[in-house]
Amino acid sequence: MGYRIGVDVGGSFTDFAVFDEATATISSLKVFSRPDAPGEEILAGLDTLAQRDGITAEDVSYFTHGTTVGVNTVIQRNGDDVALFTTRNFEDVLQMARLKIPQIHNLYSRRPDPLVPRERVFGIDERTEATGTVLTAPDREDVESAVAAARKAGCTGIVLAFLNAYRNPANEAEVARMIAEIAPEMPVVSSAATWPIIREYERTITAVISGYVQPRVAHYLDRFETVLRERGVACPLHITKTNGGVMGIDQARDECVQMILSGTASGVIGAGYLAQHCGFPKILSLDIGGTSADAAVILDGTPQYGVGELIGDFQIHVPSVSVSSVGQGGGSIAWIDPLGVLQVGPASAGSTPGPVCYGRGGTKPTITDAVAASNLIGHTPLGYGAVTVDHAAARAAIAPLAERLGISIEETAANIIEISVSSMYAEVSGLTSRFGIDPREFHLFAFGGAGAMLACFLARELNMKGVVVPLTPGVVSALGGLIADLKNDFIRTLYIDVTEAGVATLAAPVAELQATALDWLKGKQGFKGEARLSLSADMRYLGQSYELETPLDAADLSVAAISEAFHTEHARLYGHADRDALVQLVNLRLVVAGATPKPRIAEPDPATGPARPVRHVTAHFDGTAQETPVYARADLAPGHTFDAPAIIGQDDTTTVVPPGFTVTVDRFGNLVITRKEG
């Protein structure tokens, strides 16, 4: 028996969740992130765990990590100078994209500049038919010429994306082999090996993003592994994936695109697990850290998935936990634009220097400073003792904004909070529309360092059923990585009609996918338990230009069963189905998963008396002063209930409850916050 550790490195804090295998219980820890020295925050956390709990490196039996280094590389556009080799005469694939402007109602809106500029795109004389037949094999002299041109352009890596490579990857594989001989120092990413989907732009941009972030991600992972090995952690290391699972660190180095949203997905997995265990079937998760607010739809503990999630300015087309993000984190900076209008974000103070009220050198006012200036935080120890809130410094930082706006500091702080909540409202409203859900039926599940601080304000605007704050909201993302299953996705483009003749061809690719999936789980990952296989297909009616992913029963792949599954899914999402229309199956998908150990969610002892505040303070809600009780989370127990306004402090976050709500502690110790009747 040992300890399983999950780590989530955020913009401001690094969170640790520690699972004791002997007792199946969870403990947690927060330390400041070190973007200036990656890896040091992990060492600091391990040192603290050794001092606080006596956990040594030799005691660690499992280590998993979620990171945002990939997505930040794309957002900040500081990735590798890669070249793109594509089929000759298709060199404009990135510039053309889908010929859509980002904002359809803004005629001045323009598509972002590609990650690979046109001068670093080189055509190769090769051609594969849509049937998979190779018409023109690549010529070595042609490849040598393209490599020389890429070197001259200063490229340090190459992405291959050839026409119809999803159907037959032979030409991409042959060119990759040639480059390994011609320029062994250049890493090569193949689109067919990355994610072999049918559409050229989608497959190309996914491979480009993978190649663009690969060197930076690989360097980060090398540093991460070196730090742990030098400290004596000898267990296998895992990285959380975009699809909500985990994979080994070696696979993560090679398949960077699979972990580009790893940090974000971890939080959603953790929230889903806790919500399902505690009896909340319909939730919107709200993860607010130092730089962003991330929301996701979770039904019966299962996050909603999709493809085409936005990574900076670009979509990525691997299976992903479907998350909407907005640059409204606790460290997001408030500023006044040239027209004299107050704005918030997306720039963030991050961990270094951080909000002004943290006293770590920050000079620009943030959302956290607005909350501090309203006297809503800082009345109990925060950040496991790492943070002391300086209310006076927060007010001083906001004062120049207030002076320019001609209003009080309290009103300015309230406006900063309102603007940030409005931005979240717009993003979450789009998410609820996308999945066709009614927010009035959902609880907002708040976590992250600032999630509980702002959740009630957002739930009030969305008219939601209530807010749920778990026992340790600050480390839910680390918990998600810790409990995530080993999981991988596989895809095969078939493009067949769902007829007797078409369905007769399914048996072989299904068997091949199943064999490949089991080899990955049992062989490459060394999993000893029972494998879970989930089959689905991207299908559409003949003539449609988009597909719906539809779950299939691998035991019944008849025409009737496949067609009915699609009709049912189409009706569920769009309200109608055409059962007389021909159905087409474009992609076959298979997900394999192996369950990891899960912690026991303890039920605290019930309350023996009324909830008693530790003090009262004068706080400002929506700019209005209110006498407000402050509760210590550790003093609250199942059965406690009290009316707002209220401030509830704990080591990893502060829950702010404005007037008009009632707080109840459920049998698992969660804060369940609901609107008062009438």
| Model confidence band, residue 545 (pLDDT cutoffs 50, 70, 90) | confident
Domain segments of the chain: what residues?
332-419, 486-594
**If you write DSSP's letter for every residue of 437-464 in order, what string do you get?**
--GGG-EEEEESTTHHHHHHHHHHHHT-
Give yes or no for a contact between 12 and 449, defined as CB atoms under 8 angstroms apart.
yes
35 — phi, psi (to 5°)? -60, -20
Which secondary structure element, helix H or strand E, spans residue 296, and what is its range?
Answer: strand 293-299
Check whether 30 has a pLDDT greater than 70: yes
- CA-nearest of 614, 626, 594 to 519 is 594
CA distance 634 to 617: 19
Query: Residues 452-506: pLDDT tens digits?
Result: 999 999 999 999 999 999 988 878 888 888 888 889 999 999 989 999 999 999 9
Query: Residues 614-628: pLDDT tens digits?
Result: 999 999 999 899 999
CA distance 236 to 226: 13
Give yes or no for a contact between 31 and 13, defined as CB atoms under 8 angstroms apart.
yes
Q: Can you say whether residue 463 is alpha, beta or left, with left for phi > 0 and alpha for psi between -120 and 50 degrees?
A: left
Across the range 100-128, mean pLDDT stands at: 86
Q: Which carries the bigger pLDDT value, residue 572 or residue 169? A: 169
| Parallel/antiparallel/unpaired status of strands 615-621 and 624-632 | antiparallel
Q: In this prediction, what percent of the chain has a pLDDT beyond 90? A: 55
Check whether 678 has a pLDDT greater than 60: no
The CA distances from residue 147 to 81, 116, 151, 190, in Å, are 14, 15, 6, 15
660 — phi, psi (to 5°)? 100, 5
Mean pLDDT of the chain: 89
Contact partners, residue 161, CB within 8 Å, separation at least 6: 84, 85, 86, 93, 172, 191, 200, 203, 204, 207, 208
Query: Residues 433-444: pLDDT tens digits?
Result: 878 788 999 999
Q: Which residues pair with 444 in a beta bridge?
A: 284, 467
**If you write DSSP's letter for every residue of 491-557 in order, what string do you get?**
EEEEEEESSHHHHTTSHHHHHHHHHHHHIIIIIIS---S-EEEEEEEEEEETT-SS-EEEEE-TT--
Check whether 259 has a pLDDT greater than 80: yes
pLDDT of residue 351: 64
- Identify the sign of the CA torsion 509, 510, 513, 514: negative
pTM score of the predicted model? 0.82
pLDDT of residue 676: 83
pLDDT of residue 117: 94
Number of H helices, E strands in the chain: 17, 35
3-state class (DSSP) for residue 294: strand
| CA 670 distance to own-chain centroid | 24
pLDDT of residue 313: 79
| Parallel/antiparallel/unpaired status of strands 646-649 and 309-311 | unpaired
CA distance 13 to 34: 8
3-state class (DSSP) for residue 625: strand
Return the CATH class of domain 486-594: alpha beta
**Tokens 């959740």 appear where?**
455
Burial of 456 (0-12, 13-18, 19+ CB in 10 A): buried
The three-point CA angle 402-403-404 to 5° equals 95
380 — phi, psi (to 5°)? -140, 160
Of 322-331, 561-570, 639-648, least confident by mean pLDDT is 322-331
Across the range 135-155, mean pLDDT stands at: 95
Q: Where are the beta strands (DSSP E) in 230-281?
A: 237-240, 246-248
Query: Residues 367-393: pLDDT tens digits?
Result: 999 999 999 999 987 766 667 899 999
CA distance 550 to 546: 13
pLDDT of residue 260: 83
- Give, as one character, the DSSP assignment of residue 202: H
Check whether 253 has a pLDDT greater than 90: no
Check whether 59 has a pLDDT greater than 80: yes
Give yes or no for a contact between 359 and 350, defined as CB atoms under 8 angstroms apart.
no
